[in-house]
Amino acid sequence: MRGIRTGLLAAFVALMVVPAAHAEDTLLGKGWSETGVASYYAKFWQGRRTASGERFDNGELTAAHSWLPFGTRVRVLAEETGREVVVTITDRIGTARRVIDLSQHAAKLLGIIRQGTAEVTLQPE
């Protein structure tokens, strides 16, 4: 049992030290995608610290995701509008109901501001 725990700990540590620039290659692999509901940040969050330590800016192309490493760039395709945008992960999402929370700028470019949420597909950039 101790060997299993040690192996799991080593695997976890290895994942934590993967540089963000190469995270797409090592963690997501070719052909990875994720589909689900996207939302966007309220104005309330403007200027507050994200989980990565950066200050949130609704004018930037950033997003929150539950497990993608900070700094990972992800292509987001809005199913209904057919538009896409590339965002950088800077925060953690606080619910399992959505796959991603977008900055308002990203949501505007996708054409999903009016409805508030939308079905999207995420792919590595």
- The C-alpha angle with vertex 100 and arms to 97 and 23, in degrees rounded to 5, equals 125
pLDDT at res. 94: 82
Average pLDDT over residues 45-60: 92
DSSP string, 38-86: EEE--GGGTT-B-TTSPBP-TTSSEEE-SSSPTT-EEEEEETTT--EEE
pLDDT at 17: 40
Considering the domain boundaries, does residue 7 fall inside one?
A: no
The whole-number pLDDT of residue 9 equals 42
Confidence of residue 96 (pLDDT cuts 50, 70, 90): confident
Any domain includes 16: no
Q: The domain that contains 58 carries what CATH number? A: 2.40.40.10
pLDDT at 36: 96
Domain residues for the domain of 82 are 21-124
**Which pLDDT tens digit goes with each residue over 62-84?**
999 999 999 999 999 999 999 99
Number of domains in the chain: 1
Confirm whether 110 is domain-assigned: yes
Q: So what's the pLDDT on residue 29?
A: 63
Res 28: pLDDT: 61
Residue with tokens 């104005």: 43
2 falls within a domain: no
Q: Do the domain assignments include residue 70?
A: yes
- pTM of the shown model: 0.75
Q: Are 31 and 44 in contact (CB under 8 A)?
A: no
- For 8-50, what is each residue's pLDDT tens digit? 444 443 444 444 444 444 456 667 899 999 999 888 888 899 9
Q: If residue 109 lies in a helix (H) or strand (E), which one and from where to where? A: helix 104-110
Q: Is 1 inside any structural domain?
A: no
